[in-house]
Structure 1
Amino acid sequence: MKKQEAIENIYRLEGRVPVGKAVPFGLQHILAMFVANIAPIIIIAGASGLDPGQTARLIQSAMIIAGIGTLIQLFPLWKIGSGLPIVMGISFTFVSVFCYIGPVYGYNAIVGAVLVGGIIEGLLGLFARYWIRLITPIVSASVVTAIGFSLLSVGASSFGGGSGSADFGSASNWILGTITLLCCIVFNILAKSYWKQLSVLFGLIVGYLVAVCMGMVDFSSLEGTSIVAFPSLMPFRPEFNANAILSVVLIFLVSATETIGDTCALATSGLNRDATEREISGSLACDGFISALSSVFGCLPITSFSQNVGLVAMTKVVNRFTIATGAVIMILAGIFPVFGALLATLPDAVLGGCTIMMFGTIVVSGLQMISKCGYSQRNITIAALSLSTGIGFTQVPEIFDIFPQLIRNIFAENCVAVVFLVAVLLNLVLPKNMETAGTK
């Protein structure tokens, strides 16, 4: 393989890239999502009363399942998988509802609900051709824009040291996040050829080394960590509670809208085209069935990661083999827990310094998609009203206090769900040509 062709292949969906050149890009993707992948498990396990040993095994399972899910997205099995460079990980969308179900019904009820909800979403994906026409381009564009805006606060929280941390917003976190961000920008400006696309990895490495020098990296989690370990099947016996299942299935529908948005955003920003019906269908099917498989290992739902969509949008690296090296790294991080524990020492401020621009890229991609749809009165109404209610109402979640707990769990702090619902409803009820509606 010619060197120039190998370099150009990283910007193509197909084509082989030498392993030595592919691994850094794969590692960049994993570092960008690693903390966000394990954070939901830590939060939900704590709320559900699981002990540290159980939590550690769930984190191990999460890495393996995320790696398998990513490989299936890249290289579909039958109709399951999109064939796009989508990176999978534990979904944050379910945190609030699981923090309610866990203490009330127990963690086993969470596992049972994930199993049922995952199968339902998977079937919806397989039969997407019967309903996907509800998701018109302007609806997809509005959802993608909402995903970008929803991630901005995530990036800012990480930049400050992680929401709820004792030193949140401290000078040390500001310094660390700023150094990391500047390293990403300077590297992108000065590097040549494909090396430019490794700016996030460079920033992560420099930021991590600076954090070590500042004494901000805690290596205590490495003590007593096993070298090799394999996850166990059915560590938690599923319990099928009707209330838990109903709540989780509804959140799976919300997660599905995010997956549709991620798939559309990735195709638009990374491949300069619209996502096909087959790709959206396969992406949803993978989302659901891999989540069901995740429950077999006692773990939580798996979904596409918007962080990595932002990374693709920024770097334009879409090669499936290259992203697959990252999936293999995730699987190894699960089989070799000490490797995963080392990656978990990455400080939040370092991650925030790298991701804040990536998340902004998703916003820009969404706005570009809206522009591509055209600024007709109908499109402007759908985008403006869905975004203003979705982003505006979730900034003041108390506005949902009159609704039942189930509705609050779904909509109160999830702007993507509100944007999707409003956009779909407006798309159904507004006249197809508002410019001529009401005229003689």
Structure 2
Amino acid sequence: MKTSDNIYQLDGRVPLLQAIPFGLQHVLAMFVSNITPIIILANVVGIEKGLTASLIQNCMIIASIGTLIQLYPVWKIGSRLPIVMGISFTFLSVSISIGVSQGMGTLMGAVIVGGIVEGLLGLCAKYWLKLIPHIVAATVVTSIGFSLLPIGANSFAGGQGAADFGSAQNWIVGSVTLLTCLLTQVFAKGFLRSLSVLVGLIVGYILALCMGMVDFSGITNNGFFALPKFLPFTPEFNLGAILSVIAIYLVSATETVGDSSALCSGALKRQIHKVEMGGAISCDGFVSSISGLFGCTPITSFSQNVGLASLSGVVNRFAIATSAGIMLLGGLFPPVGTLLTTIPQAVLGGCTIMMFGSILFAGFGMIAKSGFSQRNMIIVSLSLSTGLGFTSASQMFKIFPQIIQTIFAENCVAVVFILAVVLNLVLPKDKEAN
């Protein structure tokens, strides 16, 4: 039976008209983050505007495919969890390096091969996931929450590098958006409470529109319908580039482990199963290979959407699947995607602050469930203090080879993950109960 209450059930049947707002809420939470990596890469590498517009289309379609496979697995590929996928920021630095020095063809070749490697790792996850016990996953989830806070703050202020960064306009719009989200979350009930982020975004958008912060120019510049461009770059295969990208894929896999663990802990109120984790990783990898065929960088699970699911409690797969449908429309009908890009960064920042905080809260909850033994205290405290501290002073990595800098210098999640795994392996078990 289809009822609105089923939005809080993984497999409940939900009426389409009631599911769509929840899907739209997820799209709005991740849309700008999904297309931003390819926009930055295109600007740095020097890709012409017409092709850049096609790549933005492709980003939407790839995110849609990845989300649907996570929700409704193909064989062992996909987790069957309410995970929303999108283009990863984690690969941006290495993508720019390879794209500038060796060309986009070499980058796409590395993305395709690396994705296959990560996908195979996901299929074999049961053999190595024992290296990631609950306390390690909890530490990684907490580090993801901390790593997202500057992103939310930068958006709140107008977006890093924006001419009006930190302006009074951005402060007003961001604050009103955040306050609306908070008041809706605290005082609204039932259906409306679960849509607190969407309500905040609508109020913030209307305010920004009244303040002249929304630009509608260019909505029809790319036509009303366009098919995705397949193989915009001819793949070339260079061993050095492939190894560099595979190293980042391993980092991306750890983020997926953390995101899927946080989702199960925060939204589903249980621990993740190894089959689900392996499926999430394999989807990450194999869909990233498809992404390379369409000229896009790798895909991954989006932490902001994990935070949204935890905050709203909406985990219904069909409701989340409507977000994939909206992204597909955004890819096939350019004006839809372009309209979503008109949302000011300050509005998105006001929405995401609370969502990112909910990921932190999920991490703290996972740590509490693991227990506060001396051994766990050492794993968590040393991993987080080193990972967050060292990457905040990234210049200290300058004595290391470039590949080490690329992986670790500005990626606290990678540092935290490696340290947590090593500490879990080397610390004596007799410290568990002390």
Q: Tell me, yes or no, if the aligned pair for 2:32 and 2:341 is still in contact at 8 Å.
A: yes
Please give the per-residue CA displacement for 1:235-286, whole angstroms capped at 9, x wherever unaligned: 1100111221111000000000000000100011111100101000100000
Q: Aligned partner of 1:143: which letter?
A: V
Q: 1:18 to 1:243 in 2, by over 3 A?
A: same
Aligned partners of 1:420, 1:127: CA distance in 2, in Å? 19
1:365 aligned residue: 362
Q: Aligned partner of 2:135: which letter?
A: I
Q: Which runs of 5+ in 2 are unaligned?
A: none
Q: 1:201 to 1:436 in 2, by over 3 A?
A: closer
Alignment of 1:14-25 (within 5 A): 14-25=11-22
Matching residue within 215, 220, 237 for 2:217: 220
Alignment of 1:342-361 (within 5 A): 342-361=339-358
Matching residue within 157, 174, 181 for 2:171: 174
Aligned partners of 1:210, 1:95: CA distance in 2, in Å? 33
1:152 aligned residue: 149
Aligned partners of 2:309, 2:235: CA distance in 1, in Å? 37
Aligned partners of 1:186, 1:365: CA distance in 2, in Å? 21
2:254 aligned residue: 257
Q: Aligned partner of 1:197: which letter?
A: S
Aligned partners of 1:132, 1:435: CA distance in 2, in Å? 20
Q: 1:130 to 1:435 in 2, by over 3 A?
A: closer
2:269 aligned residue: 272
Q: Is 2:195 aligned against 1:198?
A: yes
Matching residue within 296, 306, 312 for 1:299: 296
Aligned partners of 1:138, 1:192: CA distance in 2, in Å? 35
1:396 aligned residue: 393
Q: 1:23 to 1:401 in 2, by over 3 A?
A: same
Q: Aligned partner of 1:72: which letter?
A: I
Please give the per-residue CA displacement for 1:299-332, whole angstroms capped at 9, x wherever unaligned: 1101000000000110110000000011100001
Q: Aligned partner of 1:80: which letter?
A: I
Q: Tell me, yes or no, if the aligned pair for 2:136 and 2:421 is still in contact at 8 Å.
A: yes
Aligned partners of 1:53, 1:61: CA distance in 2, in Å? 13
Please give the per-residue CA displacement for 1:344-400, whole angstroms capped at 9, x wherever unaligned: 111100000000010011011101101100011111100110000000101100111
Q: Is 2:424 aligned against 1:419?
A: no
Aligned partners of 1:431, 1:409: CA distance in 2, in Å? 32
TM-score normalized with structure 2 length: 0.98
Aligned partners of 1:251, 1:349: CA distance in 2, in Å? 30
How far is 1:223 from its partner? 4.0
Q: Aligned partner of 1:416: which letter?
A: V
2:77 aligned residue: 80
Matching residue within 98, 101, 106 for 2:103: 106
1:340 aligned residue: 337
1:12 aligned residue: 9
Comparing 426-435 and 125-134, the one that deviates more: 426-435
Aligned partners of 2:296, 2:180: CA distance in 1, in Å? 36
Aligned partners of 2:258, 2:230: CA distance in 1, in Å? 32
Matching residue within 121, 134, 154 for 2:118: 121
1:29 aligned residue: 26
Aligned partners of 1:190, 1:307: CA distance in 2, in Å? 23
How far is 1:190 from its partner? 3.1
How far is 1:226 from its partner? 1.1
Q: Aligned partner of 1:233: which letter?
A: F
Q: Is 2:254 aligned against 1:244?
A: no
Give 3-state SS (helix, strand or coil) of 1:221's partner: coil
Q: Aligned partner of 2:322: which letter?
A: T
Please give the per-residue CA displacement for 1:11-52, whole angstroms capped at 9, x wherever unaligned: 100111001110000000000000000000111111111111
Q: 1:426 to 1:228 in 2, by over 3 A?
A: same
Q: Aligned partner of 1:296: which letter?
A: L
Aligned partners of 1:189, 1:375: CA distance in 2, in Å? 31
Q: Tell me, yes or no, if the aligned pair for 2:95 and 2:297 is still in contact at 8 Å.
A: no
How far is 1:98 from its partner? 1.1
Aligned partners of 2:191, 2:206: CA distance in 1, in Å? 24
How far is 1:195 from its partner? 1.3
Matching residue within 226, 229, 247 for 1:229: 226
Q: Aligned partner of 1:206: which letter?
A: V
Q: Aligned partner of 1:47: which letter?
A: V
1:46 aligned residue: 43
Q: Is 2:323 aligned against 1:326?
A: yes
Identity rate of aligned residues, in percent? Answer: 62
Aligned partners of 1:289, 1:224: CA distance in 2, in Å? 33
Aligned partners of 1:405, 1:394: CA distance in 2, in Å? 15
Aligned partners of 1:436, 1:203: CA distance in 2, in Å? 45
